[in-house]
Structure 1
Amino acid sequence: MEMTNLYQSLNLILPELVLSVVFVILIAADLIYHNNKAPVKFIALAGIIVSFFILLFNFDSSGFAFIFNGTIRNYGLVAVDSFGHFFKLLVLLSSLFIVLFSFSSVELKEAEKRIGEYYALIYGMIIGMFFMISASDLILIYLSMELLSLSSYVLAGFLKLRERNSEASLKYLIYGAVSSGLMLFGISILYGMTGSTNLYVINSLIQGPNINLLTLSFAVILIFAGIGYKISSAPFHFWTPDVYEGAPVTITAFLSVASKAAGFALLIRFIKTTFVSYTDASGAWNLINVFDWQSVLIVISILTMTLGNFSALWQDNLKRMLAYSSIAHAGYMLLGVLVFSNQGLLAVLIYFAFYLIMNLGAFLVVMLIANKIGTEDINSYNGLGYTSPLLSVSLAIFLVSLTGIPPTAGFIGKLYLFIALVDAKMIAVAVIALLNTVVSLYYYVRVLKHMYLVKPEPDTPAIKPNLIETVIVLALAVPVILFGIYFQPVVDFAKSCLVILGI
Structure 2
Amino acid sequence: MTEQFVIELTQSLKNFLPEVSLTITLSLVILLDLIFGRKFKNIGAFISLAGLVVTLFFTVKQYGGNYQIFRGMFVVDPYSTFFKFVFIISALVIVIFSLQSYELKETSARRRTGEYYFLILSLTLGAFLMAGSVNLVMMYLSLELVSISSYILAGYIKESERSSEASMKYVIYGALSSGLMIYGISLIYGLTGELNIYALNASLLSTGYSPIVLMISLLLMLAGFGYKISAVPFHYWTPDVYEGAPITVTAFLSVSSKAAGFAMLIRFLKASFIDRTVTLGVEGAWAIIQGLPWTEIIAVLSALTMTVGNIIAIWQNNLKRMLAYSSIAHAGYILMGVVVAQNYGISAMLIYFIAYLFMNLGAFYCVMLVAEKTGSEDIEVYKGLGYRAPFLGVVFTIFLVSLTGIPPTFGFIGKLYLFSALINAKVIWLAVVGVLNSVISLYYYIRVVRNMFLRDPESEKASIAFSPAHIVVMLILVIPTLLFGVYFSPIVELAQNSVAMFGLR
- Judge conservation of contact 1:386–1:456 (CA < 8 Å) in 2: no
Question: Cα deviation per residue 1:396-420 (whole Å; 9 max; x = unaligned)?
Answer: 0000000000111000000001110
| Alignment correspondent of 2:269 | 271
- Judge conservation of contact 1:79–1:501 (CA < 8 Å) in 2: no
State how 1:70-469 maps to structure 2 within 5 Å: 76-112=72-108, 113-278=111-276, 281-469=282-470
| Alignment correspondent of 1:63 | 67
CA–CA distance in 2 between the matches of 1:430 and 1:40?
Answer: 45
CA–CA distance in 1 between the matches of 2:378 and 2:208?
Answer: 58
Q: Which amino acid aligns with 2:502?
A: I
Identity of aligned residues (%): 52
| Alignment correspondent of 2:12 | 9
Question: Cα deviation per residue 1:177-203 (whole Å; 9 max; x = unaligned)?
Answer: 000000011111111111111101110
CA shift for structure 1 position 460: 3.3
Question: Cα deviation per residue 1:60-100 (whole Å; 9 max; x = unaligned)?
Answer: 22200111xxxxxxxx0001100000001000001000000
| Alignment correspondent of 1:72 | none
CA shift for structure 1 position 371: 1.1
Q: Which amino acid aligns with 1:314?
A: W
CA shift for structure 1 position 484: 0.9
CA–CA distance in 1 between the matches of 2:51 and 2:374?
Answer: 33
Q: Which amino acid aligns with 2:80?
A: G
CA shift for structure 1 position 462: 2.6
CA shift for structure 1 position 209: 4.9
CA–CA distance in 2 between the matches of 1:176 and 1:202?
Answer: 26
Instruction: State the secondary structure of the residue aligned to 1:114.
Output: coil
CA–CA distance in 2 between the matches of 1:480 and 1:17?
Answer: 32
**Residue 17 of structure 2 corresponds to residue 22 of structure 1:** no
Question: Cα deviation per residue 1:430-459 (whole Å; 9 max; x = unaligned)?
Answer: 111111111000000000011111102335
TM-score by length of 2: 0.96
* Unmatched runs of 5 consecutive residues or more in structure 2: none
CA–CA distance in 1 between the matches of 2:461 and 2:88?
Answer: 37
- Over aligned residue pairs, what C-alpha RMSD do you find? 1.3
CA–CA distance in 2 between the matches of 1:193 and 1:459?
Answer: 69
TM-score by length of 1: 0.96
- Judge conservation of contact 2:37–2:112 (CA < 8 Å) in 1: no
Question: Cα deviation per residue 1:104-162 (whole Å; 9 max; x = unaligned)?
Answer: 00000111123101000111101110000000000000100111111110000101232
- Judge conservation of contact 1:12–1:62 (CA < 8 Å) in 2: no
CA spacing shift, 1:181–1:460, aligned 2, 3 Å? farther
- Judge conservation of contact 1:369–1:463 (CA < 8 Å) in 2: no
CA–CA distance in 1 between the matches of 2:183 and 2:291?
Answer: 19
- Judge conservation of contact 2:157–2:246 (CA < 8 Å) in 1: yes
CA–CA distance in 2 between the matches of 1:210 and 1:453?
Answer: 64
Question: Cα deviation per residue 1:196-218 (whole Å; 9 max; x = unaligned)?
Answer: 11101110111245411101111
* Unmatched runs of 5 consecutive residues or more in structure 1: 68-75
Instruction: State the secondary structure of the residue aligned to 2:472.
Output: helix
- Judge conservation of contact 2:405–2:411 (CA < 8 Å) in 1: yes
CA–CA distance in 1 between the matches of 2:253 and 2:283?
Answer: 35
CA shift for structure 1 position 463: 2.5
CA–CA distance in 1 between the matches of 2:96 and 2:208?
Answer: 54
Instruction: State the secondary structure of the residue aligned to 1:462.
Output: coil
Residue-pair matches, total: 495
CA–CA distance in 2 between the matches of 1:247 and 1:290?
Answer: 42
